[in-house]
Chain A
Amino acid sequence: VFEPTGDLRRLDQGGQIASLTQKAIACDSVGFAELSVDILGRGKALRFRARGYSMHPLVRDGDVLLVQPADPSALRRGDLVLFRNRKGEMVVHRMIRRVGRNGALRFEFKGDRLAGPDELVPVTQIFGQVSSLERDGTCIDVRQPGMRLLGLAVAWLSPLDPRWIRSVAWLKALIQKAPLVSKYLG
């Protein structure tokens, strides 16, 4: 990578010539997709801060997500999945259904707050599955049975308009009474 050039390279004056700086990398930054694919491909989990509102109220802007490497064949309807869309952006949305089989298998995802699904995603663009969410010191395991049931219900209702879903009193009550979820959703 570093081939001698023969000419001395100029350095910025002031401060240490070699620096190490700690920072966060935003999930909507250029490097995030490349890094996350690399890390999940090594079989390691990824912890990052979510941006956006498409999964509101379960995932809010600024929540911290823990994502495990995903085996696409093991994904279930309602799971929260990290995938790369056609624009090259990394997205966490809910798995709604599988389409096709074997080599032609693709997945349909949708943001809980969005009116329509994303474009179909091939297996090769699926990288991780959300295992937990953190907000204000509260951590919720989204793979526990109650959360899986909630995810499945949301996936089933996904063809409906989200504004209509939010107006359904029994669903609202179910969400707010679920242990831990009520505290998390606030």
Chain B
Amino acid sequence: LNLAEQRYERNPDFVFRKIVDEMILVPIRADVADMEGIYTLNEVGAFIWDKLDGQATISEIEAAVQEEYDAGAATIAEDVAAFIRELDAVGAVRRI
């Protein structure tokens, strides 16, 4: 399967909150939220997180990032894929 056409959705066991200027993801594992192991997202990370609804493909998310941010297409494609792989590795998203 072409990576660009893959879709991911957010794991509902990851709580997303914007607190002051910080975007926070709190994983809930075995019904416990461990505040010693939360994640912070930068602005672009939070933008991508918002798009991971199981409907948008990776290429559509890349296009959305390109419309909003000042970066080259190759950089965006590489970094969006790397970021989603990181989210996948910690269990924050799952592939549809």
Q: Do A and B come together as binding partners?
A: yes
Residue A64 is within 8 A (CB to CB) of chain B in the complex: yes
The answer to whether B35 touches A25, judged by C-beta atoms less than 8 angstroms apart, is yes
B17, B48, B50: the one contacting A35 at CB < 8 Å is B17
CB distance from B53 to the nearest CB of A (A): 12
Q: Which segment of A44-52, A116-124, A144-152, A159-167 sits at the interface?
A: A44-52
Contact with B along A51-90 (1 / 0, CB 8 A): 0000000000000101000000000000000000000000
Q: Does B55 contact A (CB under 8 A)?
A: no
B40 to chain A, nearest CB (A): 5
Check B69 against A11 for contact (C-beta < 8 Å). yes
A44 touches B31 (CB 8 A): yes
Distance, CA A66 to CA B30, complexed state (A)? 13
CB B5 to nearest CB in A, in angstroms, measures 20
A-side interface residues, number (CB < 8 Å):
37
**In the complex the two chains form, is A24's CB within 8 Å of B37's CB?**
yes
A8 vs B70: C-alpha distance when bound (angstroms) = 5
- Could you tell me which residues of chain A, from 126 to 171, have a CB within 8 Å of some CB in chain B? none
What is the minimal beta-carbon distance from A25 to any residue of chain B, in angstroms? 5
How many residues of chain B get a CB closer than 8 Å to chain A's CBs?
A: 45
Partner of A17, one of B34, B38, B69: B69
Q: Give the docked Cα–Cα distance between A160 and B46 (Å).
A: 52
Q: Is the pair B87, A38 in contact by a Cβ cutoff of 8 Å?
A: no
Report B38 CB to chain A, min CB distance, Å: 5
Residue pair A22, B37 in contact (C-beta under 8 Å) = yes
Q: A34: which B residues are within 8 A, CB to CB?
A: 17, 19
Q: How far apart sit A36 and B32, CA to CA, in the bound complex (Å)?
A: 11
A-B contact pairs, 9 of them (CB 8 A): A2-B46, A17-B79, A18-B82, A19-B42, A22-B39, A25-B38, A34-B19, A39-B28, A49-B36
Binding site for A on B (CB under 8 A): 15, 17-20, 22, 24-26, 28, 31-48, 50, 65, 67-71, 75-76, 79-80, 82-83, 86-87, 90, 92
Known: A9-B70, A17-B79, A46-B35; 15 extra A-B contacts, CB below 8 A, are A5-B68, A8-B70, A11-B70, A16-B82, A19-B45, A22-B37, A23-B38, A24-B38, A25-B38, A27-B35, A35-B26, A44-B28, A44-B31, A49-B35, A49-B36
